Structure 1
Amino acid sequence: MVEKSYIVFGYGSLIFKPPPHVIAQVPGFLKGYVRRFAQQSHDHRGTEENPGRVVTLIHKEHWDSFSGSDPFPDEDIVWGIAYTIDPAYESEVRDYLDYREKDGYTLETIDIHGIVDEQEQVIIHGAYCYVGRPDNPSFIGSEPLERLSNIIWKSVGPSGRNKDYLYELAKAVHQLSPNSFDSHLYALESQSAGR
């Protein structure tokens, strides 16, 4: 019996700060999700007193159910990177990621899509992904863009300035694929750049 590879999908900071012991990586995208700055960060890009904001994946139907005013297009797709971890270090990397993503994230399994021979198809079944579900205590939900931008601009935590997280993520998503586009992320990038 062949053991299943330990593959982790990064859609936030894992894109520009990958996990250790990666032996392969491939860009891909998810269907049925949106990427939003809807998660408070008390331990990386903010503090307990002044939490920053970081991205999470949200099932599209969940987001639509409580965010009727979301101005961003439905056709955006979430691009990221699938990392295959060296099997010799799987346990170590799991522990590292569980700790890194401890502020409200839950491990889910997802299918990753890609373009093969100009056709869209699932390229990886059952990859692991850390998702901040709406019922976790750090989930903040939808906030007006101006308020969100202000919080990101001002927040700082042990991992650095929140605005650097935003800029690094936007830069990484721009570089992922000619097809990658994230209007929410790019709108925040533009808003913050105008300060």
Structure 2
Amino acid sequence: MQDLWVFGYGSLMWRPGFEFEERRPALLRGYHRGFCVFSHVHRGTPERPGLVFGLDSGGACRGVAFRVEAARAEATRRYLQEREQVTSVYVETTKAVELVDSKQRIEALCFVVDRKHPQYAGALAFERQVEMIAAGEGQSGKNPEYLESTVRHLEGAGIADAELNRLWCAVEERLRQSASSR
């Protein structure tokens, strides 16, 4: 039995929900972080879906890698399956990930989006993303909070993402407009 590495790129970065031995900045090549999943549970409902991140093919994604000691690896894997596979929109896989601070390559557990799943949103227009994120709310809270937390944690990790910052500004503006029109 060996230690388990887990790659986080969205809410796992700030709310992993499992014990880990170390947390390191990491880079996954061949996939990018995108609002490409209709959320029917955590940040929306089937009637009013929100949007959540998925690892979609193409590009590269900066995130974090968590090392879980071998004794907790199986329990951590089960926890993540329950958390990430509520509607089976993600595929559990192992990918080569680079630890940014050492250039070391490791194998990490990743959850990539299943493009054939009905909740796969693909590349939505910017305004549609703003609309859905501003209105989404599910079991884990409001969709705008999910976006804001991701933006803040990326900034805290020294990861610049101009497009996510632009999206967050547009969602904030939409929320302000909605509040002032009530």
Aligned to 1:135: 116
CA-based RMSD of the aligned residues comes to 1.7
Shift in alpha-carbon separation, 1:155–1:116, aligned structure 2, 3 A: closer
Q: CA contact under 8 A between 2:33 and 2:54: conserved in structure 1?
A: yes
Matches within 5 A, 1:1-195: 3-60=1-58, 77-102=60-85, 103=87, 104-116=89-101, 121=103, 123-177=104-158, 180-195=159-174
**In the TM superposition, what is the alpha-carbon distance from 1:116 to its structure 2 partner?**
4.5
Query: CA 1:25 to 1:109, structure 2 compared with 1: closer, same or farther past 3 Å?
Result: same
User: Is 1:36–1:185's contact at 8 Å kept on the other side of the alignment?
Assistant: no
Structure 1 residue 114 displacement after superposition: 3.7
The 3 A distance-change label for structure 1 pair 163 and 116 is: closer
TM-score (norm 2): 0.87
Find the aligned partners of 1:36 and 1:108 in 2 and give their Cα distance.
18
Counting aligned pairs with the same residue, the percent is: 31
Please say if residues 36 and 184 of structure 1, whose CA atoms lie closer than 8 Å, have aligned partners that are also in contact.
no
- Listed as ranges, the gaps of 5+ residues in structure 1 are 61-73
Deviation of 1:15 after TM superposition, in Å, equals 0.5
Alignment partners' CA distance in 2, 1:145 and 1:90: 38
Asked whether the equivalents of residues 24 and 101 of structure 2 are also in contact (C-alpha less than 8 Å), the reply is no
Determine helix, strand or coil for the equivalent of 1:4: coil
- Residues 154 and 99 of structure 1: is their aligned pair in 2 closer, same or farther, counting only changes over 3 Å? same
**Counterpart residue type for residue 101 of structure 1:** E
* Further displaced range: 185-194 or 10-19: 185-194
Structure 2: which 5+ residue stretches go unaligned? Answer: 175-182
Give the residue type in structure 2 aligned to 1:174: E
Tell me the matched-pair count: 172
Q: State the SS of the aligned residue for 1:32.
A: strand
Q: Give me the whole-angstrom Cα distance separating, in 1, the residues matched to 2:160 and 2:153.
A: 11
Runs of 4+ aligned structure 1 residues displaced above 6 Å come to none
- What TM-score do you get using the length of structure 1 for normalisation? 0.81
1:112 is aligned with what amino acid?
A: V
